[in-house]
Structure 1
Amino acid sequence: MNNCIPLIAQQMQRLVQRYFTAEPLLRYAELFIEDKLRETIRFGQLTVIHYQMFGGKSDEPYEAAAAVELFVLASDILDDLQDQDAPDKLWMQIPQPIAIHVATALLTLSQQAMLGSTVNDEIRIALLEMMNTQLLLAANGQMLDLANDITDEQSYLEMVKLKSATMLQLACMTGVLLAGQPWNPIVAEYAMEIGMAAQIQNDLRDLLRWDDKSDLLKKKRTMLTLYLIESEEEEDQWIKAYFQGDISMEDILLKRELFLETCERSGTILYGSVMSRMHYNRFEELLNSIHEISPWKPTFLSIINQEIT
């Protein structure tokens, strides 16, 4: 499956070179894509493998996979600009108006790429409708995340479904639709479960960090920080006090070891791990129900396990 990565990358580069004629726009877009390629393009891989799993035979999926990756890249840039938690990224080191402009241009380019990914008008319309629907869902989720007023586990899970899981749905369903198949509710559901499992794992990492992405230091309300805030143990009340503004960050910075001990003792780490695994198990259950795609299962799982771990 790794052999599709260069083909997706080539399509991404071809698209910006074709449509971005202003030299600064092209230069920054190419640099941002280079940064993306140093990490992963698993979303594009998911598009390609779903195209193959559902009977696609031509070379069509690579431009659609590039469209998905451009969409994800633009979303990541805007997310970093809004959260201000990725200072090492190139788009955080240039004037913000330029970074915003490049991101919005890439978002538009992703739609243009999806439009050009097939000559079949019926499939083209289905792809664009699905892409715009997912974009709007993700926009709602991002707004809920930025508001940072999650109050319980259910509202957290609803936010994650909108913000993160929709991206996995986009990647998987693009391949399904491009292969000429209708919207598949089982694929949509297992993509949602993958997204939930991956986001909880990401929250676990960010809970234990002690840098710009630390959910504790940023007072980020996630399922895991809520678990800590709601602790009735007297020795854990300092965490709730910090979120309420009664303790300064300077004081919190002295409590790193105590915080790590608290996460372990309170069962927060175990809770997050169990919840992530629960969603992953549901994904596997749904995947196993589609018997026609069993030959592709090992390759598919290898991509997914990179996303989850």
Structure 2
Amino acid sequence: MNDWIPLIGQQMREQVSCWFTAEPLARFSERYIEEKLRESVKFGQLTVLHYRMFGGAGHEVYKAAAAVELFILASDILDDLQDRDAPDKPWMQAPDAVSLHVACSLLTLSQQVMLNSTGDDRIRIGLLEMMNRQLLQAANGQMLDLMNDAYDEQEYIDTVKQKSAALLIFACQTGVLLAGHPWNEGVEEYAMEIGIAAQLKNDVRDMLRWDDKSDFLQKKKTLITLFLLESLAEEDLWIKDYYEGRLSKDDIADKQDCFVQACERTGASLYGSVMSRMHYNRFVELLESFQEEGPWKDMFLHILRQEIA
């Protein structure tokens, strides 16, 4: 499994070199790929894992995994350009027009690489149909996230299912289909639980930050901030005033400690952690019942350990 990441990265670089003949496009893309490889390629690893789990034995899986990661990279770039909350990323330090063009080019490249990942026309058609279906679902989820108007917890979870979970399902099902199998409902179910658990863990982290990625300072509505807003004591009502625009960011600049205390007092942080763990435990339960022969469970949990567990 340790060999998977270098092989996926190699394919990402090779595909950029092959298809991006404009030197600046190749140069910026390669720079962004290197940043991505330093962070995480869990989506591509899940593609390889499911390919092996379902009996696949060829090396074409690394090209398919590269297609998955190229799309995830493009999605990350677009997300950061929209949210403006990751100033240290190389795509945020380049002109917006350049990074936007690179992201759009990577989206197209990801589909071309997926198309070329197999010579079997039946599998190729199935992969592209599945890819487009999941990515369109993720696009819907991203739009709902940008609108930031979830009014209750179920609506927020539904948005997560369309956005984050749809991409994890895409990564896992790519391996399943490439190995010659049809869409697997069991994989869909546990990948959905992974996506929800991972997003809720990120929400707990981002709620307590006090920087550009703070969900509170950005007035984002998540499962946890919605819970917080419904649980405020009298002394914490300034939090609601900030969300509703009666206070500015300058007005609350010195209230970080008060905010952390409010999160602890209301149980918002604990609630988010418990909900994340609940969905993670459900994933493990589903994986246990689904388990194929081989070392797949331990490898699966290893890939996800830094993200969720």
Same fold (TM over 0.5): yes
* Structure 2 residue identity aligned to 1:148: N
- Indicate the residue corresponding to 2:262 in structure 1: 262
- Indicate the residue corresponding to 1:94 in structure 2: 94
- Indicate the residue corresponding to 1:125 in structure 2: 125
Rounded to whole Å, the distance in 2 between the matches of 1:293 and 1:59 is: 21
CA displacement 1:41-61 (0-9 Å, x = unmatched) = 111111001000011011121
Q: Match of 2:305, SS?
A: helix
Count of aligned pairs between the two proteins:
309
- Indicate the residue corresponding to 1:103 in structure 2: 103
CA displacement 1:156-184 (0-9 Å, x = unmatched) = 00111111111111111100110111100
Map 1:98-247 → 2, pairs under 5 A: 98-247=98-247
Rounded to whole Å, the distance in 2 between the matches of 1:232 and 1:225 is: 11
2:46–2:172: 8 Å Cα contact kept in structure 1?
yes
CA displacement 1:129-175 (0-9 Å, x = unmatched) = 11111110111011001101010000100111111111111111100
Rounded to whole Å, the distance in 2 between the matches of 1:40 and 1:231 is: 35
Rounded to whole Å, the distance in 1 between the matches of 2:29 and 2:202 is: 26
Rounded to whole Å, the distance in 2 between the matches of 1:305 and 1:185 is: 24
* Structure 2 residue identity aligned to 1:103: A
1:41–1:69: 8 Å Cα contact kept in structure 2?
yes
Rounded to whole Å, the distance in 1 between the matches of 2:232 and 2:105 is: 49
Unaligned stretches of 5+ residues in structure 1: none
Rounded to whole Å, the distance in 2 between the matches of 1:288 and 1:47 is: 19
Rounded to whole Å, the distance in 2 between the matches of 1:8 and 1:150 is: 36
TM-score (norm 2): 0.98
Rounded to whole Å, the distance in 1 between the matches of 2:188 and 2:263 is: 33
TM-score (norm 1): 0.98
* Structure 2 residue identity aligned to 1:71: F
Q: Which moves more between the two structures, 12-21 or 164-173?
A: 164-173
- Indicate the residue corresponding to 2:58 in structure 1: 58
RMSD of aligned Cα (Å): 1.0
Q: Which moves more between the two structures, 139-148 or 247-256?
A: 247-256
Rounded to whole Å, the distance in 2 between the matches of 1:147 and 1:119 is: 41
Rounded to whole Å, the distance in 1 between the matches of 2:52 and 2:264 is: 43
* Structure 2 residue identity aligned to 1:250: D
* Structure 1 residue identity aligned to 2:258: L
Q: CA deviation at 1:295?
A: 2.9
Identity across matched positions, percent: 66
1:231–1:237: 8 Å Cα contact kept in structure 2?
no
- Indicate the residue corresponding to 1:49 in structure 2: 49
Q: Match of 1:306, SS?
A: coil
CA displacement 1:24-66 (0-9 Å, x = unmatched) = 1000000000110111111111100100001101112100000
Rounded to whole Å, the distance in 1 between the matches of 2:145 and 2:232 is: 26
Rounded to whole Å, the distance in 1 between the matches of 2:17 and 2:228 is: 49
Q: CA deviation at 1:194?
A: 0.2
Rounded to whole Å, the distance in 2 between the matches of 1:54 and 1:232 is: 49
